Structure 1
């Protein structure tokens, strides 16, 4: 069984990776699994989402941990940390 999630990228990630896409993964996948699947593509995906890079995630518009489990139809957004001034 699989789940399909809608990915969205914001700020500098959007400039590098585009606006977003749909991605199908095995049932029980987590936010970390999505990030790893994207990194496995290599190129700009591997660079933008590399381990140690400051990237936040929001699952259905709520900040989420990398351990959060995905459900079919979820929206998962990735974005750099926001700074204020």
Structure 2
């Protein structure tokens, strides 16, 4: 959700860099992938580290950089990295 409305998450600096944020289906894919990663690590529960471990792979092709981002050579991977690094883990 932070890629669709970055301002609501205190990420005002990312708003002009995102043309299209990740959809609700991307959130579902993120949850399923995090569960699979946790399972492969031998756990029956998901940790924030599981989400971070697979987050870039799941979301980088689902976040479209704006023309401004492209002009500044900011990639979707960098946008996803900034989201994960700046949002506080509950």
When normalised by structure 2's length, the TM-score is: 0.36
When normalised by structure 1's length, the TM-score is: 0.37
The structure with the largest strand share of the pair is 1
